[in-house]
């Protein structure tokens, strides 16, 4: 019961915060204003968030967790070639779904990026690197000292493109962006997965 009450309080607080973010800059939003509109006391706010910026991080993290889980749940077993196996989507379908999910929350992502306080690149990169490395090991059974470097470049490029797409008000269609990203990913992932780079020689 207590947990359900906490979840409800957070939902209301975060909803009010997003609505305020539509109307004014982050720096103009106060805890007092949020609590008044959400009909909660300040102790409830501070029991869940450190401050306004921590609240924004929670909102951003939840949006990315939802986006990420929507895709990961459909990935199935490691498959570098992007070819669909029974019951799972192709890489192209997953990319398109992620872009469409972004469009569904376009206002929220615009607001978060406009605030200049959310480092989407780091938030997404950390999660994607951890997930990708686990899949790489499962598929190849080998460790690579250059995996982190190569995937940082690969995923970083995709994330920056995704951010630019939001910043430019979704100028390109999801279909066009899907084609560009899918081609970029497949060309690089197939090379990395099918021919694991040699381990670094540390002997002298």
Highest mean pLDDT among 37-46, 57-66, 117-126: 37-46
For the stretch 65-121, pLDDT in tens is 888 776 666 555 444 444 444 444 577 888 888 898 899 888 888 888 888 777 777
User: Do 203 and 136 touch, CB atoms closer than 8 A?
Assistant: no
Question: Measuring CA to CA, how many Å separate 50 from each of 56, 97, 134, 143, 178?
Answer: 10, 34, 33, 39, 38
Instruction: Give yes or no for a contact between 4 and 42, defined as CB atoms under 8 angstroms apart.
Output: no
Confidence of residue 8 (pLDDT cuts 50, 70, 90): very high
pLDDT of residue 96: 87
Q: What is the mean pLDDT of the chain?
A: 81
Q: What is the pTM of this model?
A: 0.73
Rounded to whole angstroms, the Cα distance separating 120 from 76 reads 25
> Stretch 150-158: mean pLDDT, rounded?
87
């Amino acid at each position: 019961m207590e947990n359900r009450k906490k979840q409800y309080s957070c939902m209301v607080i975060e909803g009010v915060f997003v609505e305020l973010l539509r109307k004014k800059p982050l720096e103009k939003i106060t805890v007092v204003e949020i609590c008044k509109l959400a009909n909660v006391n300040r102790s409830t706010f501070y029991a869940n968030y450190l401050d306004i910026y921590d609240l924004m991080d929670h909102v951003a993290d939840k949006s990315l967790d939802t986006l990420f889980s929507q895709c990961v749940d459909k990935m199935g077993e490691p498959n570098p070639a992007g070819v669909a196996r029974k019951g799972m989507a192709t890489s192209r379908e997953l990319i398109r779904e992620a872009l469409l999910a972004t469009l569904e929350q376009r206002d929220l992502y615009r607001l978060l990026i406009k605030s200049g306080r959310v480092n989407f690149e780091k938030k997404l990169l950390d999660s994607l690197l951890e997930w990708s490395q686990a899949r790489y090991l499962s598929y190849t059974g080998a460790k690579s000292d250059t995996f982190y470097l190569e995937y940082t470049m690969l995923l970083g490029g995709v994330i920056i493109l995704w951010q630019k797409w939001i910043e430019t008000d979704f100028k390109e269609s999801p279909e066009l962006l899907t084609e560009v990203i899918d081609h970029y990913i497949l060309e690089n992932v197939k090379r990395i997965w099918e021919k694991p780079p040699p381990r670094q020689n540390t002997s002298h």
